[in-house]
Structures are given as C-alpha cells and as structure tokens.
Amino acid sequence: MTRPQQIPGDNIVNLSSLIELKLVDILQDGRHATELPSSYVVDVRRKTDGSRPARSAGKCVLKTFPRDKRNQEFFRHEVQAYSRLTGDVTYNSAQEAVDTLFDTLSELKPKHGWPRCLGYLAVPTDMDDYEFEWTDMAEAATAKGQTQNALLLEYIPGLTPVNFKMLNATLIEDILDVLAQLQEEGIVHRANINPAVWPKPGIRNIYVRCSKPGARSVPFVTNFGNAMVLGDSAQERRQMEAEMKDLQYHLKRGMEGKLLVDEVPREVQILLGDSP
C-alpha cells in the first residue's frame, strides 16, 4: 500500500478514520485528459462507534490528489498555503479537532475570500464507488491498497466563475482586496490569470457569490496548488507587487473589452487566424 504523504504543518489535522463521508456531487472531475485534482461535495459525519453516535456536520468539499509527482506538488503547495492561512491552532488530539469541527461547522460562514481547510485524510483512488453510502474513506483505501491524499475544505455554495461581463470598478476593487489579504498572510497565489489566452486577458480561480438578488457580489479565490508562502524580503515583495499589478491589468482590460496589447504583431494575428 502506498503511504499518504507526510503533512508539513501540524495545524492541518489528520481526519483519517475519525469521520465518514458520503458523496453528493462532483464539482470538478480531474480525471479527463490530463489528470488533475478532483473536487467533490460530500456530507460529513463523525465515525460511528460504541461511545459516540453518528453526528452529521453538514456539507464540505473533498479535494483529492492523484499519486503522481505533479499532483503531489499541488498537494504540498495547497497544504503549505492552508497551514499559513489557518494560523496558530492547537489541539490536544485529532479527536479534539474532530469534535471542534462538528461543534462549529454548522455555524461556519465564510469569513475570508477563500475557503478554509478543515483537515486532510487518505481516500481511495476510485471515489465514485462510494457515492451513496457513508464510508470511512481511509479504511476503504487501506482495504483496497490504493490511496490518495485529500483535503477537506469549507463548502461555499453558489459560487460563480468571474467573467468580464460582470466586472465593474467596485468588484475589481473587492477582488484585488482579497489578493491583498492573501499577500498580507504571505501567500502569492500564482494562478489567478490565464496566460494561455494571450493576447486576450484571462482570469481563473476567481469566483463570486451573491447571497440574494441585488446584493453585492462577494469574491472568492480558490485553488492554492501553485501558491507559495513567501517571506518579507525585497525580492519577495516585488513578486507580490507584480502579481497584484498583473491581475489588476487583466481585470481592467477585460472589463473594457480590450486586448492586453494595443497592437497585435502580424505573425501573432496569423497564428490566431485574425490576419486579413
């Protein structure tokens, strides 16, 4: 059996064999084409035993990471970022952490512009086999001998990917404020613009949530698989400033319906099929 990767942060709690999950929905199936992390909506409950009754904590997001080197790098980056964002949390045991999770999860409301990490666990590689039944995922993974790492994240319903048509000056300011909050925590995200669509502006991993019609949209940043935890050196500050400037430029040009450059070279026009 492949052993789960060691977690570089003791404030991200190992929930394996302490909880049971039931799949509700697939948010992102990363198994098509190039294999990437997958995300599921799951119901969570404390594992049933003789002394503790089964107790539901509600819905969470389970993000799974295949065992190949690339996805384990994504996992490592996510854990390091969430460990920094989680801050100083001390539990006497993993069981205490689970009890705290069940005591507070139903009351959790998004406080930041990103989902919170509630812990990690080992899960089977064939998650679809457990769609309609409560399962101790770590136990199932051990039985099958096919294990992958997973993070249990806060579920934020009603998220919509940001597109340029919904942008205005206020929303841009709010999005940049979320990025600034991440940078205050020492996190550079590194995956909020999409260079593949150049010379068009492109953004990714940025969502908005509107609690009710007519209410102000609240932005959220997700996916920390490329994120880095930085210090306070001049070089690292410049890296953060560059990320902020790049995202601001993409958002502004996208809102204005403009390309990233005022004049596209003819050879690029030919490649894009836009040359007369």
| CATH number of the domain to which 244 belongs | 1.10.510
Q: What is the mean pLDDT of residues 113-134?
A: 86
* Whether residue 134 is found in the same domain as residue 30: yes
In a domain, 2, yes or no: no
Looking at the chain, the whole-number percentage of residues with pLDDT higher than 90 is: 52
In a domain, 106, yes or no: yes
Question: Residue 153, CB half-sphere, CA atoms under 13 Å: how many?
Answer: 26
In a domain, 98, yes or no: yes
Give the pLDDT band (50/70/90) at residue 106.
low
In a domain, 243, yes or no: yes
The residues, ordered by sequence, that sit 6+ positions from 120 with a Cβ below 8 Å of its Cβ are 7, 12, 13, 14, 15, 16, 79, 149, 150, 151, 152
How confident is the model over 182-207, as pLDDT tens digits? 999 999 999 999 999 999 999 999 99
In a domain, 276, yes or no: no
How confident is the model over 156-177, as pLDDT tens digits? 988 999 999 999 999 999 999 9
pLDDT at residue 93 in the model: 72
Q: Which residue among 154, 183, 203 closes a domain?
A: 154
Domain hosting 229: range is 159-256
pTM assigned to the model: 0.87
Contact criterion met (CB below 8 Å) for 18 and 98: yes
pLDDT at residue 2 in the model: 40
Distance CA 254, CA 267 (A): 23
Contact criterion met (CB below 8 Å) for 92 and 108: no
Residue 200, both tokens? 């068009």
State how many domains the chain has: 2
* Whether residue 222 is found in the same domain as residue 203: yes
Looking at the chain, the whole-number percentage of residues with pLDDT higher than 70 is: 82
